[in-house]
């Protein structure tokens, strides 16, 4: 089964295969090549083994992953898959395994941490999905509510009920043909997540005879779950803000060598075992893993003052909804998308879809348990039968007339949740959409980048009411009163507003009425973003400034003090983007200067800082998309960084400028306009039963008036006879195999094929073999002992077939130039190194003509060699 890999001008992979399995394999492999470091970090997150190479800061997550039994849940969910879906997911992991070594060689995180690529199991993608979304519904908010209610009373639930700092949200909208210039529907939006580098979404195209889909995939997971366009139907999602994870307060006791838990029917044995989390640079951590009839115990235990277990649908049902993924790829209509999402489990999403026949969809998809209302709000007692799950809630849906908006507000999913995002984003999008009946894809950026901050109203109203201010404070008050409430990148008024807000949030957090919430509880650090008082006040500021609760808060006085303090500082306010900068999460932080941003938490351009803590933004649009149902070629997309996770790649950061400016790249769907990169052939690798490996072409270049140059991986057995005939001719004496028999040649190249650092290829011109080409890492070769190896060095060997290309002037030079372009196309390769025998004057002269600079002579065990080097030209700066 074959698959071809193409790239567009942004480096986005477009994959075309014989069938779905070969396509899944190719998707896994190309993702591993582009994102090896990201994939391996995610695999270790599932297993709870990140601290072994990232150090103590990662241990908290690892302990949680072990206690929550993420890997075991993923195994259960995989075991429950239907055979076809399981095989499809397995093909993806086989592709990942065969691409990891190539990807890891170019991505510095491995060398920086000493990590070597591991092996993906068929269940690993389900684990990646689970670990990515386990905190998505924000169950730690129930820990916060426990404390808030204890300190302030039951009204505290409503006081702080807002889209908080630990929650991911999104914008999305569907415009029907009555409101577009083309008469066909448009879907657009942007998922808001913590911005990670590499990005959490991967632009990709998956095509085979059964389907042809473009969309945003999650690296490590096959298919396209969240945002896709098949040509005839497109779909998108946002977080429904549903509550479907419960926390139970457990009574545990030691029972001999085991642990017992007290439930509605009395004491019952709990499953228990211990695991060890290895920590780089620190002592290992022993973890007692306990699971009661409710779920895994994630906080405390039988020897702690408290114990809390987590119950969530995937652990209960052994399902994540992965059967929906191949079904979505095959969708042709909105009804097909609807049926596919009937099987969805985790997370619970609002879904929109539209097709070319006028079909529309607006629904919620997922699993939300039916249970006592208190379960949604607080930690509940495990021993009370009233808190058991009794079934599944029906998923709401709505008709679409003209336009439909989804922005995490209390709307379609209201029956399923407790806390929702403020209505500002949804209301603003709806108002903007109502302003035109002839929308085009290109005009969507005016919505994506809208910076109006409606939630500023209460603070501005209080500011306007202040009198008897110092001259500086009065001037600042008047300035903010005239502000247009836009958090534009170049706005100094936005910076002034943010400065006052920042001071006010900190003053509120220090007020005695919140004293009982100011000190962090003795809970795992992982949950602190949900438990810290200052972020909670920051995101509930509007409610705190307008609620009749907390009469002891003298709000005008606090606002006055904040205004006077900012005015007394005397500082000039620079543009908002100077303070409001991107701050992405990186497993191994780099020293990069990140761009300044427009927007704010409650803007449609939701780039979230944490007032009172930092102006920097760790959350924002993890991608933007515009799906045009008139012609998929008119669709648009962009991600914060680029298609490649490899530093130095031209596609590592090439979309950052677009993303920051609110621009997008066009979705290119014409195969003739794409660059063919390689062919991947799926076959069984006899060395590792059950594993597939890539063979066949890795490079192709069509050269006018010359022919098509190709490289394919050498088959040690199948090509042995041909290579033996070449290396045993007198003209190849410097190759060092004149006396070799066929078996020796096959054995030699089988050994080369087994090395991740050395590669052998057959060189072809118009499908005719014309040479043998090898690449290797000098640091892993005896040559590395003979000179000072630099990062980015790559060694090559070239043997041309006897009498190639008779009567074709420039034959050897043209081939050499093509091979050089291939080697230097790898972003990790900075300098080519060759080592011809000093007696091989013809080869040395050829290298000089090709641009190599001669180096010193060195003595190798088998020969005396002349080194020569070819530096990679510097990459021109981005315009």
For position 225, which CATH number holds?
3.60.20.10
Look at residue 211 and tell me whether its pLDDT is greater than 50: yes
Please determine, for residue 151, whether its predicted confidence score (pLDDT) is greater than 60. Answer: yes
Sort 274 into a burial class: Cβ within 10 Å, 0-12 / 13-18 / 19+. exposed
Token pair of 337 as six digits: 């998308």
Whether residue 736 lies inside any domain: the answer is no
Query: Do 298 and 175 fall within a single domain?
Result: yes
C-alpha angle 393-394-397 in degrees, rounded to nearest 5: 140
Q: Is the pLDDT of residue 163 over 60?
A: no
Q: Tell me, what's the pLDDT at 791?
A: 82
Report the C-alpha gap between 739 and 736 in whole angstroms: 8
- Judged against a pLDDT cut of 90, whether residue 480 lies above it is answered with yes
In percent, the amount of the chain with pLDDT more than 90 equals: 76
Q: Could you tell me the CATH number of the domain that includes residue 539?
A: 1.10.1400.10
Residue 557 shares a structural domain with residue 423: no
From 595, 626, 646, the end of a domain falls on 595
Instruction: Beginning with the edge strand found earlier in the chain, give each strand of the sheet holding 285-291 in spatial order.
Output: 252-255, 258-263, 266-277, 285-291
4 inside domain: no
Mean pLDDT of the chain: 91
Least confident of 36-45, 431-440, 733-742: 733-742
Among 561, 595, 629, identify where a domain stops: 595
Question: Are both 525 and 643 inside the same structural domain?
Answer: no
Indicate if 425 and 498 belong to the same structural domain: no
- How much is the average pLDDT of 512-528? 91
Residue 530 lies in a domain: yes
232 and 301 co-located in one domain: yes
| 150 is a domain residue | no
Is residue 552 located within the same domain as residue 626? no
Residue 754 scores a pLDDT above 90: no
Question: Average of pLDDT values for 699-718?
Answer: 88
pLDDT bracket for residue 827 (50, 70, 90): low
The answer on 62 and 194 residing in a single domain is: yes
Please indicate, yes or no, if residue 738 is contained in any of the structural domains: no
Domain housing 191: 15-134+168-451+596-670
The pTM score is 0.78
Give pLDDT tens digits for 638-683.
999 999 999 989 999 999 999 999 999 999 999 999 998 877 766 4
pLDDT digits (tens, 9 = 90+) for 366-403: 999 999 999 999 999 999 999 999 999 999 999 999 99
Quick one: 481 and 376 in the same domain? no
Q: Are residues 447 and 465 in the same domain?
A: no
Answer yes or no: is pLDDT of 686 > 80: no
Whether residue 513 is found in the same domain as residue 653: no
CATH of the domain at 831: 3.40.630.30
* CA 288 from centroid of its chain's CA atoms: 31
Q: Residue 808: what pLDDT?
A: 62
Q: Is residue 732 part of a domain?
A: no
Using the predicted structure, report yes or no on whether residue 66 has a pLDDT greater than 50. yes
Share of the chain above pLDDT 70, in %: 95
In-domain check, residue 321: yes
- Written as six digits, the tokens of 779 are 């640091």
User: Can you give the pLDDT at residue 873?
Assistant: 81
pLDDT of residue 681: 62
Confidence at 824, pLDDT banded by 50, 70, 90: confident
The answer to whether residue 687 is domain-embedded is: no
pLDDT at 569 over 80: yes
In this predicted model, what pLDDT tens digit does every residue of 493-511 receive, in sequence order? 999 999 999 999 999 999 9
Same domain, 553 and 486: yes
Structure letter (DSSP) for residue 582: B
Boundary of a domain, candidates 549, 565, 595: 595
Q: What is the DSSP string of 450-500?
A: --B-GGGHHHHHHHHT--S--HHHHHHHHHHHT---B--TT-HHHHHHHHH
Q: What single string gives the DSSP state of each residue in 163-225? A: --TT--EEEEEEE-GGGBSSSS-EEEEEEEEE-BSS-S-EEEEEEETTEEEEEEEPTTSSS--
* pLDDT band, residue 692 (cuts 50/70/90): very low
What is the structure's pLDDT at 685?
A: 38
- Number of domains within the chain: 3
**Are residues 436 and 299 part of one domain?**
yes
């Amino acid at each position: 089964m074959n698959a071809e890999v193409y790239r567009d001008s942004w480096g986005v992979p477009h994959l075309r295969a014989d069938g779905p399995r070969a396509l899944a394999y190719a998707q896994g492999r190309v993702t591993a090549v582009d994102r090896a470091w990201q994939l391996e970090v995610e695999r270790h997150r599932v297993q709870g083994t990140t601290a072994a190479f990232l150090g103590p800061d990662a241990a908290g997550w690892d302990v949680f992953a072990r206690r929550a039994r993420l890997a075991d849940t993923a195994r259960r969910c995989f075991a429950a898959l239907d055979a076809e879906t399981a095989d499809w997911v397995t093909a993806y992991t086989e592709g990942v395994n065969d691409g990891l070594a190539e990807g890891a060689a170019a991505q510095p995180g491995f060398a920086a941490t000493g990590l070597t690529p591991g092996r993906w199991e068929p269940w690993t993608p389900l684990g990646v999905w689970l670990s990515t979304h386990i905190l998505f519904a924000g169950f730690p908010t129930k820990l916060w509510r426990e404390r808030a209610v204890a300190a302030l009373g039951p009204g505290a639930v409503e006081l702080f009920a807002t889209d908080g700092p630990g929650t991911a949200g999104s914008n999305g909208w569907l415009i029907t043909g009555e409101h577009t210039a083309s008469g066909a529907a448009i879907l657009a939006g942007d998922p808001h997540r913590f911005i990670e580098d590499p990005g959490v979404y991967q632009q990709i195209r998956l095509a085979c005879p059964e389907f042809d889909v473009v969309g945003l995939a999650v690296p490590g997971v096959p298919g396209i779950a969240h945002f896709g366009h098949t040509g005839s139907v497109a779909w998108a999602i946002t977080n429904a803000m549903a509550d479907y994870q419960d926390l139970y307060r457990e009574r545990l006791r030691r029972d001999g060598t085991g642990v017992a838990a007290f439930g509605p029917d009395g004491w019952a044995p709990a499953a228990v075992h211990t695991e060890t989390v290895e920590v780089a640079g620190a002592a290992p951590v022993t973890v007692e893993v306990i699971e009661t009839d409710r779920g895994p115990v994630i906080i405390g235990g039988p020897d702690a003052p408290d114990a809390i277990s987590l119950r969530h649908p995937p652990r209960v049902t052994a399902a994540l909804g992965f059967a929906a993924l191949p079904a979505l790829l095959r969708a042709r209509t909105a009804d097909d998308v609807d049926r596919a999402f009937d099987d969805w489990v985790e997370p619970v999403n609002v879904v929109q879809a539209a097709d070319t026949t006028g079909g529309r969809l607006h629904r919620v998809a997922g699993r939300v348990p039916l249970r006592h209302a208190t379960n949604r709000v607080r930690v509940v007692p495990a021993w009370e039968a009233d808190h058991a799950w009794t079934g599944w809630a029906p998923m709401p849906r709505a008709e679409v007339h003209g336009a439909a908006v989804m922005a995490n507000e209390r709307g379609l999913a209201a029956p399923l949740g407790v806390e929702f995002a403020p209505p500002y984003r949804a209301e603003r999008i709806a108002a903007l959409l109502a302003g035109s009946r002839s929308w085009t894809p290109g005009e969507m950026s005016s919505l994506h980048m809208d910076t109006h901050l409606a939630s500023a109203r209460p603070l501005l109203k209080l500011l306007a009411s202040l009198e008897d201010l110092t001259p500086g404070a009065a001037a600042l008050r008047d300035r903010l009163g005239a502000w247009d409430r836009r958090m534009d990148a170049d706005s100094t008024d936005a910076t002034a507003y943010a400065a006052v807000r920042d001071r006010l949030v900190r003053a509120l957090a220090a007020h005695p009425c919140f004293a009982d919430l100011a000190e962090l509880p003795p809970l795992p650090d992982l949950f602190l973003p949900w438990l810290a008082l200052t972020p909670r006040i920051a995101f509930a500021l509007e409610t705190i400034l307008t609620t009749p609760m907390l009469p002891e808060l003298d709000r005008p006085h606090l606002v006055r003090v904040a205004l006077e303090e900012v005015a007394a500082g005397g500082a000039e306010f620079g543009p908002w983007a100077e303070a409001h900068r991107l701050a992405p999460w990186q497993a191994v932080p780099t020293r990069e200067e990140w761009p300044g941003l427009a927007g704010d938490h409650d803007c449609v351009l939701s780039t979230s800082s944490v007032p009172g803590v930092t102006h920097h933004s760790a959350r924002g649009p993890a991608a933007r998309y515009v799906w045009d149902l008139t012609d998929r070629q008119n669709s648009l997309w962009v991600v914060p960084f680029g298609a490649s996770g490899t530093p130095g790649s031209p596609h590592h950061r090439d979309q950052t400028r677009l993303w920051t400016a609110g621009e997008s790249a066009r979705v290119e769907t014409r195969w003739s306009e794409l660059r063919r990169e390689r062919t991947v052939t799926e076959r069984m690798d006899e060395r590792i039963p059950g594993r597939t490996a890539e063979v066949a072409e890795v490079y192709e270049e069509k050269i006018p008036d010359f022919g098509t140059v190709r490289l394919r991986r050498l088959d040690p057995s199948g090509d042995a006879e041909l290579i033996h005939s070449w290396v045993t001719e007198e003209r190849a004496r410097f190759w060092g195999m004149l006396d070799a028999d066929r078996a020796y040649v096959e054995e030699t190249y089988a050994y080369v094929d087994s090395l991740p650092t050395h590669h052998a290829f057959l060189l072809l011109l118009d499908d005719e073999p014309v040479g043998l080409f090898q690449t290797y890492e000098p640091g892993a070769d005896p040559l590395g002992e003979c000179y000072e190896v630099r990062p980015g060095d790559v060694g090559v060997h070239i043997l041309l077939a006897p009498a190639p290309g008779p009567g074709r002037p420039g034959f050897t030079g043209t081939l050499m130039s093509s091979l050089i372009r291939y080697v230097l196309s790898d972003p990790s390769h900075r300098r080519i190194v060759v080592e011809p025998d000093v007696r091989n004057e013809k080869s040395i002269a050829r290298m000089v003509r090709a641009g190599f600079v001669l180096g010193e002579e060195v003595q190798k065990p088998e020969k005396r060699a002349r080194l020569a080097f070819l530096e990679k030209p510097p990459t021109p700066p981005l315009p």
